[in-house]
Structure 1
Amino acid sequence: MKNLPLSINTLSKIIGKNCIYVDKTKMAYQLICQPGAFFLSRPRRFGKSLFIDTLKEIFEGNQELFKGLYIHDKWDWSQKFPVIKIDFSDGTLKNSERLDKRIYEILYDNADNLQIKLNLNRDIPGTFGELIRLSDKKYGNKTVVLVDEYDKPILDNIENSKVAAEMREGLKNLYSVLKGQDAHLQFVFMTGVTKFSKVSLFSGVNQLTDITLNTQYSTICGYTHGDMERQFSEHLDNVQWEKLKYWYNGYKWLGNTNVYNPYDILLFIHNRMLYRNYWFETGNPTFLVKLFQKNRYFLPSLENLVVTEEIIDSFDIEKINPLTLLFQSGYLTVEKTFTRRQRLMFQLKIPNFEVKIALHDHFINAYTDLVNEKIGLQDNLYDCLEQGDVRGMVQVIKRLFASIPWRNFTNNDLADYEGYYASVLYAFFSSLDAEIIPEDITNHGQADMTVKLANHVYVMEIKVVDNANIDDINGDDVNVIQHNNSALKQIQAKGYAEKYRGIKGITVHEVGLVFSTTLKNLLNQ
């Protein structure tokens, strides 16, 4: 049985340690058969660094490493190209001076590896350009430039827009050299998590071909289900394949094939097939969640998200679209594409159970500050939903909002915002893996939210009222409560629940939730 390539990003170590290698050399071969410059965006820990290293070994002519792999009998191994590798994955850079120092270190390390002596008095563009030209001249073959984690210095400072902008300009100063040195370049490949717009970072390297959403390279990173069955069959003996797919599969960038995150799979096997959050816990979506709060994003909209390519393609530091960052960071993926008015449209989704549960737990923490109380509320809410206990569910919702610290509502008007209450409830319901239909359309209008769990369907309407009669919250008479519940009245008057009635084995519940801006909690229910 071959070893697991845990935390190994170099091909020589994988081969030397008899580790499993999922062969990506067919796509590598397709890329490098002709000169070009390419860009690939993929989430963290998806195998970008290993692919970069594989390209490096191919161009340096290390044929022995590729025995038994697709490219072995197809590539001309007599060709050996000088390779410049730029990698920003190590450490965190917090100002432009440290970035410039790191760039110089990277360039001089490459010069030492290539046995090239550089002029010590040049600026960064001059040094990089000289390194490319001298490499071409010394080795008689044009230079290959491979850039890994090209955007990490920016993302490490994304919460400080001023520093992030300085990092962007510093990197632009470096990458712009590639355009001017085109005559000396054989191949360029850049990877990162995000894609910044051409005007902000790539204006100097506009010859790059973006393969992020190219169907030919949709599985260039990650493991397909076929890879899993072929390469990991011994390690995954007796695994419940459907459960594995449900937890960790689902990432897709066009094409028809979903992929698993390699980091998830390797740790899942290493931990004796224990299902838990592996990939998600390596990241910190705090900035993303803050961005959603700042923009007052209606979280239920994540259930039926249709965007143009413009939204998912790129962003600028000064105006970051939270959906763009959510997609490029791997918290959303492509479900399907279609054409509307001759424009390519993307329907997005949360890729799998791991991301869904963990992401909504983070939303709950941020929107309610109920980190410690959360699990108890989730358990109680799940039990009520599963049992069809509407009155119990309402009481849990009351406890939920009663537990939110008052400071969450200071210096803001969240309590007046219907979308806030809907977003908190959506995050809780989603964290229970309930099926949610936001703005559930009927022939008489649309309910705010329909929640499905077990054999129960809950059709919900949410309203927020000012100057509410606080005494009503203590009403015990069901008829009085229903009489005063304007949200419930709307559900019944519009017949929002009728489309679910008569379905065998399903119990339908109408739930009107009226929140008071004074109480910051439920009033009538």
Structure 2
Amino acid sequence: MKIIAQSENIEDFLDSDFIYVDKTEYIYNLVKNYKRVFFSRPRRFGKSLTLNTIGTLFEKGVDPYFKGTWIYDKWNQEKYPVLHLSFLEYSATDLNAFKKSLCQPIRDFARLNNITDYTDDNEPSNLIRNIFTVMQDQMRIVLLIDEYDRQLTANINNKELYDKFRFCIRDFYGVIKGKKQIKFMAVTGVTRLKDESIFSVGSDILDLSYDHFFSQMIGFTREEIRKFYIDYLKLGASYEKGVDIDSVTDVDIEQFLDRIAEHYDSYCFDRKYHNKVFSTYSVNNFLHSIVSDKEVYFGDYWYDVGGLPSILMNYMESHNLNINRLLNSEIEIPYNDFMNPTSLIDINENVLMCQTGYLTLRSEIVPGYDIILGPANREVRTALFLLLSLKIFDTNNSAFSLKNRYVFENGTVEDIIALFNDVLSTLSYDKYPVDNESVLRALLQVYLLGRNLDVRIEQHNCKGRSDILVNFSKRRVVLELKYTVKTSEEQQKLKDAEQQIIEKNYGLENLQDRELLQIACVFNGDKDKRQITVYKKVDL
């Protein structure tokens, strides 16, 4: 089996026999048709590898790194020097340190390409202008800028420093705008900001973030995973089915891909809402774990690295997210809010979550019409609600300890209610008062979703919909919630909840051979109680 890559340098793929998912046809068409482009994608999606691939093609050609790829016998570009700047490597807390870090690779580039006699300067915009001025008239370069917005996202709660970085970046782009010395330019970042002081001066940069043709250039398609990772799919299916690898069928592989898709697929960067992709980072880590752990385990990789939670964590320090909206599978956003966000300081929260990968397109993009967003898959939904849990609950409480991991899957009704009450006791009631049934349901759903449980919210059947349904391989837990502030009403509310479960047959749909645990419960919101006070296991 070839090795799954842990590198963003295309040269390592040949040297270490890494799997390379061939994206060179996209790159060929990109370079052929455009001069200056911008792509927005979440972190750890493959932007850096894409830029490195472009840079290697321009600087070194196709030999030996691209043998066996689509582009090998088609690339006929001359070689050009490449200035590759990664803003991830530069300070995001000290403007002067940032300028110093940015200027050094520009100076190194000039030295390595025998560009001399320029006037040195500590301002990046002045330095690159001075270098362009003394370049030979026929000389052309390729300019690649990775994670252009790193310093902006890091200062989402520091407007003064945010603006300082913004002005510096604006000046830098203003200098390189339209320069004939640039043969090709590509810029990547997490966020798409149409701030007039940044992208207006660089308006010759074409934003291809939601371009239909290039929507699958970054990220894996199902067909690519099947083609390039077939050995890993066979191994994973063999573990799941308990059979030898040679006994794995095409149907087994498709079913295994369905499972992978549930967790890691359905990111859409296509304005036509046709094409979708898997998270590259998550798929690579998942498939690698099959070999290293010798079992199939669908881990959550997005929150720790791929989702760049620092952006949202910083945002949430000064903003409250609308929990009820996030619990909906579809969130409508005005067209202009989505397409033309101006600044991270006042960006629509759901647009920010889409740009960072917590939400994705659920509709086509049509000028003048609202755009629909929603969670892409189970992994990012878990990451989103884990992030919300950190804001809403005191997660240092014992309710969030590892010992409670299997309470819902294996515990008694008493265990489950006790855990719910422990969780609710960690709430900041002044910020998140539980004053009705809807709020209670939303808060419990945030907790359960953040635990990576298979939670079905308001699960429909032919007779109605339950408040909360949680699926496990051998058990299904159904909860019907009622709210009161009067102790005298508790028993009647409990009876109402029990009767509703019985009449509506909650949890019976597609039950298969699972144990069904149906629980009616009542939360008393009186300030002296604030807990589930009465509950009952329902027996049909």
> Aligning the two structures, in what range does the TM-score lie when normalised by the shorter sequence?
0.7 to 0.9
1:235-293 Cα shifts (integer Å, max 9, x gaps) = 44321324333333332322544333332333334432643233432265255256457
* Counterpart position of 2:394: 369
1:210-255 Cα shifts (integer Å, max 9, x gaps) = 1111121111112222222222223443213243333333323225
What is the CA distance between 1:160 and its match in structure 2?
Answer: 2.9
* Counterpart position of 1:129: 129
Aligned in 2, Cα 1:514/1:205: closer, same or farther, shift over 3 Å? Answer: farther
Contact 1:218/1:252 (8 A) holds in 2: yes
* Counterpart position of 1:331: 358
* Counterpart position of 2:115: 116
Equivalent positions of 1:203-214 (< 5 A) are 203-214=200-211
Match of 2:447 among 388, 403, 428: 428
1:16-72 Cα shifts (integer Å, max 9, x gaps) = 333221111111111111342111011111111111111112222523132322222
Aligned in 2, Cα 1:513/1:416: closer, same or farther, shift over 3 Å? Answer: closer
Equivalent positions of 1:172-251 (< 5 A) are 172-179=170-177, 181-240=178-237, 241-242=256-257, 243-251=259-267
Aligned in 2, Cα 1:436/1:41: closer, same or farther, shift over 3 Å? Answer: same
Aligned in 2, Cα 1:338/1:203: closer, same or farther, shift over 3 Å? Answer: closer
- Provide the C-alpha distance between the structure 2 equivalents of 1:501 and 1:247, rounded to a whole number of angstroms: 23
Contact 1:60/1:80 (8 A) holds in 2: yes
Contact 2:267/2:276 (8 A) holds in 1: yes
3-state SS of 2:176 partner: helix
- Provide the C-alpha distance between the structure 2 equivalents of 1:256 and 1:104, rounded to a whole number of angstroms: 42
* Counterpart position of 2:525: 515
- Provide the C-alpha distance between the structure 2 equivalents of 1:437 and 1:487, rounded to a whole number of angstroms: 20
Equivalent positions of 1:377-456 (< 5 A) are 377=404, 379-383=406-410, 389=413, 393-402=416-425, 404=426, 408-409=428-429, 412-415=430-433, 418=436, 421-430=440-449, 431-437=451-457, 449-451=467-469, 453=471
What is the CA distance between 1:500 and its match in structure 2?
Answer: 5.9
Contact 1:378/1:428 (8 A) holds in 2: no
Identity of aligned residues (%): 20
Equivalent positions of 1:462-473 (< 5 A) are 463=483, 468-469=485-486, 472=487
Contact 1:382/1:432 (8 A) holds in 2: no
Aligned in 2, Cα 1:307/1:129: closer, same or farther, shift over 3 Å? Answer: farther
- Provide the C-alpha distance between the structure 2 equivalents of 1:264 and 1:9, rounded to a whole number of angstroms: 15
Which deviates more, 499-508 or 107-116? 499-508
Equivalent positions of 1:32-431 (< 5 A) are 32-64=31-63, 65-77=65-77, 79-117=78-116, 118-121=118-121, 123-135=123-135, 137=136, 140-179=138-177, 181-240=178-237, 241-242=256-257, 243-254=259-270, 255-271=273-289, 272=291, 274=293, 275=297, 276-282=299-305, 285=309, 288-289=312-313, 291-292=315-316, 294-299=319-324, 301-308=326-333, 309-313=335-339, 314=341, 316-334=343-361, 336-338=362-364, 343=369, 345-352=371-378, 354-371=379-396, 372-374=398-400, 375-377=402-404, 379-383=406-410, 389=413, 393-402=416-425, 404=426, 408-409=428-429, 412-415=430-433, 418=436, 421-430=440-449, 431=451
- Provide the C-alpha distance between the structure 2 equivalents of 1:142 and 1:456, rounded to a whole number of angstroms: 64
- Provide the C-alpha distance between the structure 2 equivalents of 1:256 and 1:28, rounded to a whole number of angstroms: 20
Contact 2:132/2:181 (8 A) holds in 1: yes
- Provide the C-alpha distance between the structure 2 equivalents of 1:377 and 1:73, rounded to a whole number of angstroms: 58
3-state SS of 2:422 partner: helix
- Provide the C-alpha distance between the structure 1 equivalents of 2:329 and 2:342, rounded to a whole number of angstroms: 22
* Counterpart position of 2:11: 12
What is the CA distance between 1:496 and its match in structure 2?
Answer: 13
* Counterpart position of 2:26: 27
- Provide the C-alpha distance between the structure 1 equivalents of 2:21 and 2:528, rounded to a whole number of angstroms: 59
- Provide the C-alpha distance between the structure 1 equivalents of 2:478 and 2:494, rounded to a whole number of angstroms: 16
Counterpart of 1:481, as a letter, is E
What is the CA distance between 1:359 and its match in structure 2?
Answer: 3.6
What is the CA distance between 1:174 and its match in structure 2?
Answer: 1.1
Counterpart of 1:482, as a letter, is Q
What is the CA distance between 1:101 and its match in structure 2?
Answer: 1.3
What is the CA distance between 1:301 and its match in structure 2?
Answer: 3.0
1:54-103 Cα shifts (integer Å, max 9, x gaps) = 111222252313232222222224x2333322211225431211122122
What is the CA distance between 1:183 and its match in structure 2?
Answer: 3.6
- Provide the C-alpha distance between the structure 2 equivalents of 1:486 and 1:206, rounded to a whole number of angstroms: 64
Contact 1:447/1:496 (8 A) holds in 2: no
3-state SS of 1:176 partner: helix
Aligned in 2, Cα 1:213/1:144: closer, same or farther, shift over 3 Å? Answer: same
* Counterpart position of 2:538: none
Counterpart of 1:54, as a letter, is T
1:143-172 Cα shifts (integer Å, max 9, x gaps) = 322111111122233343332232222212
Contact 1:439/1:449 (8 A) holds in 2: yes
Aligned in 2, Cα 1:290/1:415: closer, same or farther, shift over 3 Å? Answer: farther
Contact 1:422/1:462 (8 A) holds in 2: no
Contact 1:460/1:510 (8 A) holds in 2: yes
Aligned in 2, Cα 1:122/1:248: closer, same or farther, shift over 3 Å? Answer: closer
Aligned in 2, Cα 1:113/1:514: closer, same or farther, shift over 3 Å? Answer: farther
3-state SS of 1:145 partner: strand
3-state SS of 1:72 partner: coil
What is the CA distance between 1:110 and its match in structure 2?
Answer: 1.8
What is the CA distance between 1:383 and its match in structure 2?
Answer: 4.4
The alignment's TM-score, normalised by the length of structure 1, stands at: 0.80
Counterpart of 1:215, as a letter, is H
Counterpart of 2:75, as a letter, is W
- Provide the C-alpha distance between the structure 2 equivalents of 1:36 and 1:114, rounded to a whole number of angstroms: 22
Counterpart of 1:355, as a letter, is V
- Provide the C-alpha distance between the structure 2 equivalents of 1:381 and 1:300, rounded to a whole number of angstroms: 26
The number of equivalent residue pairs is 493
- Provide the C-alpha distance between the structure 2 equivalents of 1:302 and 1:200, rounded to a whole number of angstroms: 35
What is the CA distance between 1:116 and its match in structure 2?
Answer: 0.8
